[in-house]
Structure 1
Amino acid sequence: MPRHDDSRDADASLGANASPARRSLNGEHPGELGTRLPPLVDHHVHLMIIGADALAESGLAGVVDLGAPLDLVAALHARDGFPRADFAGAFLTAPGGYPSDRDWAAPGSVRGVEADDTGDRASLPGPAEAAVAEQQAFGASVIKVVLNVTAGPVFDAATLAAIVRAARERGLPVVAHVEGEGMTRLAIEAGVDALAHTPFTERVDDGLIARAVALRQRWISTLVVTGYGERTPETEYAIDNLRRFHAAGGRVLYGTDLGNGELPLGVNPDELALLLEAGLAASDVLDAIIDPWPRRDRDDAVATFVPGAPPADLETLPTWLASAVVVPAEELEIP
């Protein structure tokens, strides 16, 4: 499978979201020159595994937790400090489905949802509606469903559609973990808003990718966890799928699945390098990591500062961006 050309002649322009900046003379690094960027977000982390305070000193201003016990969600939902967190609440899965049998899944982090069979009792909340309402009541701003046919039962199409419908009625996007043959199709046909991982267990055909793009679906990258530095068949599937999704106009979100294996805390240069390999330009990579999803608006009170000169080529972009720090927006001046 061909790989992306990371040559030094490739365009390393960061686009309109980057601007030269100087730190205030009143701060800890008076007059330091660098680049100002919008706040950076990792769209797939697990705070129940890495700990609630693990990213306090990272370059991330925001994270999206995609699977946690509801008591943790409630405790951290209104917490001050950075990174600010959005939560999916519990993994919603078919009874007995993944990840209910995994040691890393903390008690209360998995919620089985029975098939929706309200029938003539349509005026009563069904299992799907009850599960979605429960997550929102504890502070979830996105709903996570699990479609992993390789590790247990998955939702039938009707129950999945009921979850998506219940979430839409509450203004909540639905993100799906897809793994195994046919699971990407199931998620796309149900109209889920995002995929928690770039599909990595099968090649997604171009027609299905076109449907995902037409739905304005977002794909969270998580390329690094397909091999942790090794080239695996899953890595090749994921890079190829993401390359074609991006080329077709699909929206890519930066995410690492932080908590899944040994990954660095903060911005992950290996994930950024794989995004470049999948055909994203420097400005596309920046778009993927500054998207405020699932929020509509960015937090204007903070900004990202990357010290030193901006990267002259794509090869140095990942390590440059990984050196970012979160600063109060008022601390940065345009020279």
Structure 2
Amino acid sequence: MTNLDPAVIAARFGPRADVGHLALTGEHGVVLPAFTDHHVHLDLFAEHALAARGIAGVVDLGGDPYALARRDPHAVPRPAYAGAFLTAPAGYPTGRSWAPDAIVRHVTDPSRHPGVAGGAATAVDEQIECGARVIKVALNAEAGPTPEPPIIEAIVAHAHDRGVPVVAHAQGTGMFARALDAGIDALAHTPFTEILDEADIARAVTAEQIWISTLDIHRDAPEHARTAETNLTRFHAAGGRTLYGTDLGNGDLPVGVDPREISALVAAGFDAAAVVAALADPWPFPDAVPGVCTFVPGRPPGDERDLGAWLATASTVPIDEISRDEP
């Protein structure tokens, strides 16, 4: 019997948190909903260790749609994906060493008629027919041309008609406003190139725009890190919905729960329950990864600043391998 108190754990980590032990080993710990990393690139890292290190679901935000379509949809980590980046001719990430032609589509026409070369509907339909659960638009004004507003609006409208949300990589002055004006559902990164004012934040929250955190990727870019933290602190305080995401595959990031990303969320004002909510949100799926949960061994730390190191010891385990502790 562990001295962890289920009521205290639920009060701190959210109503779905519990106390239990592994049936085979008897190891005690905290049982949490299955975790998802909402921003990865599966072709840029070895994913085999993710589940053992606490990640049960992933959202690939830029890859070859035909290669992604061949993935087992019932695997753990459960994959969701956007397919190719939709961008302007010569726009980001065209020409990057890590971005072969297969992961980029140039959209040149706002046409919503199927089969139009370079058309918005053509690009969206291709990704969805390959199984995409989200569409990604590249709005990186610091790295080349970006799609004009009529094209973005057509992409968003067509994706919404097909029941799929749209996420944008918004980078550079004015790109956040362009994404928000077009009805973009989610941002692939917390805005990091411009400080948003209170009106910007309020508009995003009112529009129910989702932000994917990706704070740790700025650890070697202090100005971007400060801007992202400032924006996310305001967004979170205003009631905005944030998802945990790391951009795994982009640089030296741990495969599994990233303790630095957790610590950055805490620095932005997230308590333990908010951190777990960001990790356990099943978006873009409506429901959690079936049949599994997150198990974190031992007692949680008393100080939220130590939360990242503790959560980084998590693993994904089948629900039926957990025995619940008696209160």
Aligned-residue offset at 1:80: 4.2
- 1:42 counterpart residue number: 37
Once the two structures are superposed, what CA deviation does each residue of 1:71-110 show, in whole Å capped at 9, x if it has no partner? 221111x354311110000000011100011001134011
Give 2:171's aligned amino acid: E
CA distance in 2, matches of 1:49, 1:147: 21
Contact 1:178 1:184 in 2 (8 A): yes
Shift, 1:309, TM fit = 1.1
Q: 1:153 to 1:231 in 2, by over 3 A?
A: closer
Structure 2 unaligned runs (5+)?
Answer: 1-10
**Number of aligned pairs?**
313
Q: Percent identity?
A: 49
| Secondary structure in structure 1 of the residue aligned to 2:167 | strand
Query: Which residue of structure 2 lines up, in the alignment, with residue 143 of structure 1?
Result: 135
- The match for 1:216 among 197, 200, 208 is 208
How big is the alpha-carbon RMSD for the aligned residues of Structure 1 and Structure 2? 1.5
Change (3 A) 1:235 1:280: same
Matched, 1:114 2:104: no
| d(CA) in 2 for partners of 1:212, 1:125 | 33
Opposite residue 185 of structure 1, the aligned amino acid is A
Amino acid at match of 2:42: L
The one-letter code of the counterpart of 1:92 is L
Please state if 1:203 is matched with 2:187: no
Partner of 2:3: none
Specify the code of the residue in structure 1 equivalent to 2:190.
Answer: T
Q: Distance in 1 between matches of 2:16 and 2:193?
A: 34
Change (3 A) 1:23 1:51: closer
Alpha-carbon distance between aligned partners in 2 of 1:113 and 1:18, rounded to the nearest angstrom: 44
In structure 2, what residue type is equivalent to 1:60? I
Structure 1 residue 56: Cα displacement: 4.8
Distance in 2 between residues matched to 1:250 and 1:271, nearest whole Å: 18
Determine whether 1:189 maps to 2:181.
yes
1:104-156 Cα shifts (integer Å, max 9, x gaps): 1134011111132x4xxx76655001100000111111000000011111011
For the pair 1:173 / 2:172, whether they are aligned, the reply is no
* SS of equivalent residue, structure 2 residue 296: strand
Counterparts of 2:205 and 2:212, CA distance in 1? 14
Give 2:57's aligned residue.
Answer: 62
Structure 1 counterpart of 2:21: 22
TM-score (norm 2): 0.92
Q: What is the distance in 2 between the residues matched to 1:68 and 1:293?
A: 18
Displaced runs of 4+ in structure 1, greater than 2 A? 51-58, 78-81, 122-126
Aligned to 2:94: 100
State the SS of the aligned residue for 2:70.
Answer: helix
Amino acid at match of 1:239: E
Q: Secondary structure at the match of 1:130?
A: helix
SS in structure 2 of the partner of residue 204 of structure 1: coil
Deviations along 1:17-73, one digit per CA (max 9) or x if unpaired, are 21111111xx2x2x2110100000000000111145353533100010000012221
2:7 is aligned to none
